[in-house]
């Protein structure tokens, strides 16, 4: 952001005026004093103080907190935000807590994934350094991973027993009555969990088929 020039009777008054113009608080301003100003003698020869000022660069933590606060305010949710920044790897872990976390998780984590996606966009769109933000609440992502890993093991067992491939693909209600394995479309993260869980299995292998949003995992016997 470019500097602006502000003048007032005193430096403190100039900072107050700059805060109003820039829509922030004085502790979040960077400024240089061009002229300290003077009261003159008996009011004669007095001049205003002049500063050159701009908004201070916000930290990635401040940007994330500000963005999420605005989202939760619009959703009328009370949420505590805990942010941990790993500057070396440019990773950010955000933990959310509050009385209505089920709303933020959404169906199969879709709302949480969307919130994470939007937060990544918001803080990286004008940043020179890319940060990868992961948002979680109530240990949801760990629990979801464990559920998918257990599913992968069960599917592996079924393929070995029947010697037939199994597709983890979405089906309509009538198909679900006929086939024992049915899932809604998996997102890329969920598919990666399945692939990873079975990558060292000696007897089965996995691959993905189809196009988004119906791309799905297929588990087959190794040849």
How many residues in the chain?
Answer: 223
pLDDT at 147: 92
**Banded pLDDT at 177 (limits 50, 70, 90):** very low
Instruction: Give the span between the Cα atoms of 69 and 76, in whole angstroms.
Output: 10
Sign of CA dihedral 117, 122, 123, 127: positive
The answer to whether residue 206 scores a pLDDT higher than 80 is: yes
Which pLDDT score, from 0 to 100, does residue 213 have?
74
> Which regions of the chain does DSSP assign to beta strands (E)?
4-8, 29-35, 49-55, 80-86, 91-97, 132-137, 166-168, 204-209, 216-221
Q: Say how far apart CA 70 and CA 59 lie, in whole Å.
A: 17
pLDDT, residue 184, reads 62
Bridge partners for 136 per DSSP? 95
Give the model's confidence band at 48: pLDDT under 50 very low, under 70 low, under 90 confident, else very high.
confident
- Which residues make Cβ contacts (< 8 Å) with residue 103, sequence separation at least 6? 75, 77, 111
Residue 38 reports pLDDT greater than 60: yes
User: Residue 29 — very low, low, confident or very high, per pLDDT cuts 50/70/90?
Assistant: confident
Q: What residues contact 173, with CB distance under 8 A and at least 6 apart?
A: none
Q: Residue 9's pLDDT is what?
A: 86
**What pTM did the predictor assign?**
0.66
């Amino acid at each position: 952001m470019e500097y602006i020039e502000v003048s007032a009777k005193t430096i403190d008054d100039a900072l107050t005026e700059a805060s109003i113009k820039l829509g922030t608080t004085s502790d979040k301003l960077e400024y240089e004093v061009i002229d300290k100003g003077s009261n003159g003698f008996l009011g004669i020869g007095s001049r205003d103080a002049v500063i050159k000022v701009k908004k201070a660069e916000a930290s990635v933590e401040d940007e994330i907190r500000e963005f999420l606060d605005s989202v939760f305010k619009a959703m009328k949710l009370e949420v505590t935000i805990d942010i941990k920044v790993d500057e070396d790897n440019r990773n950010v872990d955000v933990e959310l807590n509050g009385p209505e976390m089920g709303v933020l998780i959404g169906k199969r984590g879709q709302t949480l994934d969307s919130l994470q996606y939007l937060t990544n966009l918001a803080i990286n769109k004008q940043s020179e350094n890319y940060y990868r933000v992961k948002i979680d609440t109530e240990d949801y992502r760990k629990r979801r991973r464990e559920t998918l890993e257990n599913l992968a093991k069960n599917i592996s067992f079924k393929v070995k027993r029947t010697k037939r491939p199994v597709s983890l693909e979405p089906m309509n209600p009538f198909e679900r009555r006929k086939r024992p394995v049915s899932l809604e479309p998996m997102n890329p993260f969920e598919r990666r969990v399945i692939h990873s869980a079975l990558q060292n299995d000696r007897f089965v292998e996995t691959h993905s088929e189809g196009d988004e949003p119906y791309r799905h995992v297929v588990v087959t016997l190794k040849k």
